[in-house]
Amino acid sequence: MPVCDVCFRNCKIEENSTGFCGARTCREGKVVAANYGKLTSIALDPIEKKPLKMFHPGTKVLSIGSYGCNLRCPFCQNYSISWSQKAFDYKDRAEFYPPEEIVHSALSLRSRGNIGIAFTYNEPLIGYEFVRDTAKLAKEAGLQNVLVTNGTATQKVLNEILPYIDAMNIDLKAFTGSFYKNLLDGDFQMVKDFIIDAVQSCHVELTTLIIPGENDSEEELCELSAWVVALENQFNKKIPLHITRFFPTFKLTDKEPTPISTILRLVEVAKEHLDFVFSGNV
């Protein structure tokens, strides 16, 4: 049975069925992206919304998303296209857009401040083939390519896309393996390895959503920041960190919104290590 090699799950996928992410399938004995070119969301967004604070600030980027995700964040803000039942229903009704059409649209929006294409909203790397093909054409057309990702992907996937990606915002959702395992059904080490490789090749900014009682301790934020500054020193690059406020949503509605005071306190903790720390949703 064919095995998907996009992430740590290594799903064995039977013919015409789908893997854990809901977006990869098996056709004629080969694992492919069922969501290739199938878009659920298209918008011209400020680059700061990705969020990217230190990559062409003041510009806009054509943002596109498909469906499916390989994590199970109970606080997902884009659950309707990521991993709810509604998201998985998109496989039959999402509209197909070929890479050439996306690039043409991005070029036509240059007069409105557009600098390129952002692959975002759901997890784009579960359909990395579409990211690769579209970003390659965009790069040839002189456009910038942005990736907003959870960083849960293999070295093979990263190698396929890195030549064409100019900037990433990567979710570093916490700094403990237990958070990734118990809350997200994810792989903490894979995300760290992904970040290390990405930092060496393009502009990277990180985002951590602070959830009360889960990842909001000063000790954890201090460890996270120390790890990031070690990467900065190793690769001689600055890595901005976004510390973002949580609001109850989806399957995590039993918690209160993160107090603004907590966000501001953790920003100061991070600034003891890092030069560029930004608060979000405050």
pLDDT digits (tens, 9 = 90+) for 44-94: 999 999 999 999 999 999 999 999 999 999 999 999 889 877 767 777 778
Whether 3 is in a domain gets the answer no
Tell me what pLDDT residue 88 has. Answer: 72
Whether 6 is in a domain gets the answer no
pLDDT in tens, 103-152: 999 999 999 999 999 999 999 999 999 999 999 999 999 999 999 999 99
Task: Spell out the alpha helix ranges (H) of the chain.
Answer: 79-82, 85-89, 99-108, 128-140, 155-161, 177-178, 184, 188-199, 218-235, 260-271
For residue 244, the number of C-alpha atoms closer than 13 Å in the C-beta half-sphere is 20
pLDDT in tens, 6-22: 999 999 999 999 999 99
Task: For residue 69, give its domain range.
Answer: 40-280
Q: What's the whole-model pTM score?
A: 0.97
Tell me what pLDDT residue 200 has. Answer: 97
Q: Are 6 and 128 in contact (CB under 8 A)?
A: yes
pLDDT in tens, 171-195: 999 999 999 999 999 999 999 999 9
Tell me what pLDDT residue 84 has. Answer: 79
Tell me what pLDDT residue 86 has. Answer: 75
Whether 13 is in a domain gets the answer no
Tell me what pLDDT residue 237 has. Answer: 96
Whether 1 is in a domain gets the answer no
Q: Which residues pair with 98 in a beta bridge?
A: none
> Taking Cα atoms as reference points, which of 35, 36, 15 lies closest to residue 26?
15
Percentage helix, strand, coil for the chain under 3-state DSSP, each rounded to 5:
35, 25, 40
Whether 127 is in a domain gets the answer yes
Residue type, 190: M
Domain containing residue 114: CATH number? 3.20.20.70
Q: Which residues pair with 24 in a beta bridge?
A: 33
Whether 28 is in a domain gets the answer no
Distance (Å, rounded) from C-alpha 9 to C-alpha 7? 6
Whether 2 is in a domain gets the answer no
**In the predicted structure, residue 27 carries a pLDDT above the cut 90:** yes
In which residue are the tokens 């600030």 written?
A: 57
pLDDT in tens, 226-272: 999 999 999 999 999 999 999 999 999 999 999 999 999 999 999 99
Q: How confident is the model at residue 39 (pLDDT cuts 50, 70, 90)?
A: very high
Total structural domains in the chain? 1
Tell me what pLDDT residue 89 has. Answer: 73
Whether 5 is in a domain gets the answer no
Tell me what pLDDT residue 185 has. Answer: 94
